[in-house]
Amino acid sequence: ALAVIARRAPAADSTFAALQAALASADLRDRQQAVAVLGTLTDARAQTLSNTLLDDWQADTLPPGLRLDVADAVRAQKAKQQLARLDALEKKLAKSAPLGLASLALEGGDADAGAAIFTGGAAISCLQCHTLGAGNAVGPDLLHVASRLDRGHLLSSMIDPQADIADGFGMITIVLADGGLVAGVLVGETPEALRVRGPAGGEPQIVPKAKITQRSKVVSVMPPIGTLLSRGEIRNLVAFLATLK
């Protein structure tokens, strides 16, 4: 309703009264929707409201789940003063937060929207490689992933999948002394041998280390999701995965 009001009468006093009321709501979704509408308005009053939100961010009183929305709204407004303030806040966050700017996607996501992304409602379908409790998988089963990993780890695994590869899901290429080549998923290793499952699946091949002349670094086949999804979509996906306990 607020978006409709803003489209019909963007400069009306009633529009800004409704916007201010929504921004003061105790409900995060209401505030997110209000900030999204704010991003479509560019007059002086809208910029004042944006400055107030940036003040709250700077004072660390803005809910973490609202920061990404404020950043998107300020960019949409394209006001130089607010853009400069946002740039300073994001640079500080990039230096201080463990996940840098990616931490903007930790809180505030829509789990239902994230579920749609997971099942193929965006540029990717997580179910192409992952399962939720059944079937074969290229990647780890995620049915109870939130009982093992917190939001930070979930987000990190998406934006930098090479940083922490789940056991049994890393790809490796091996060159043998006789010139042969073995490639597949490293499912186990002992002091004497590697166990590698080929692309066709089935029982792993035992590769004695004495026959290996070269082995590649173990890598994840998962692409960095930040190159495929927007920050908002990643935030929604984190929210969905966090429900899988």
pLDDT in tens, 13-40: 999 999 999 999 999 999 999 999 999 9
Verify that 22 and 50 share a domain, yes or no.
yes
Verify that 29 and 45 share a domain, yes or no.
yes
Domain CATH number, residue 119:
1.10.760.10
Q: Exposed, middle or buried, 237 (CB in 10 Å: 0-12/13-18/19+)? A: buried
- All residues at 6 or more sequence positions from 144 whose CB lies less than 8 Å from its CB, including other chains: 244, 245
Verify that 226 and 188 share a domain, yes or no.
no
**pLDDT category of residue 80 using cuts at 50, 70 and 90:** very high
Verify that 185 and 128 share a domain, yes or no.
no
Tokens of residue 126, six digits = 């997580």
Residue ranges making up the domain that contains 139:
111-163+222-241
Verify that 231 and 128 share a domain, yes or no.
yes
Q: Which amino acid is at 197?
A: R
Verify that 27 and 44 share a domain, yes or no.
yes
Verify that 159 and 236 share a domain, yes or no.
yes
Decide if pLDDT at 140 tops 80: yes
Verify that 229 and 156 share a domain, yes or no.
yes
Does residue 155 sit within a domain? yes
CB of 102 closer than 8 Å to CB of 230 = no
Domain CATH number, residue 199:
2.30.30.100
% of the chain exceeding 70 in pLDDT:
98
Distance of CA 70 to the CA centre of its chain: 17
Phi first, then psi: what are they for 117, rounded to 5°?
A: -65, -45
In the prediction, which pLDDT does 190 show?
A: 96
In the prediction, which pLDDT does 136 show?
A: 61
Q: Which amino acid is at 219?
A: V
Distance of CA 233 to the CA centre of its chain: 7
Does residue 41 sit within a domain? yes
Does residue 200 sit within a domain? yes
Cα–Cα dist 192/10, whole Å: 71
Alpha helices in the chain (DSSP H): 2-8, 13-23, 28-38, 44-58, 64-77, 80-96, 111-118, 145-148, 151-159, 231-241
| Total count of domains within the chain | 3
Verify that 154 and 129 share a domain, yes or no.
yes
Q: Which amino acid is at 199?
A: P
pLDDT in tens, 184-218: 999 999 999 999 998 887 899 999 999 999 999 99
Verify that 10 and 86 share a domain, yes or no.
yes
Cα–Cα dist 166/191, whole Å: 20
- Ramachandran bin of 201, using left for φ above 0, alpha for ψ from -120 to 50, beta for the remaining angles: left
Does residue 13 sit within a domain? yes
Verify that 157 and 227 share a domain, yes or no.
yes
In the prediction, which pLDDT does 199 show?
A: 82
When computed from its CA atoms, the radius of gyration of the chain, rounded to whole angstroms, is: 23
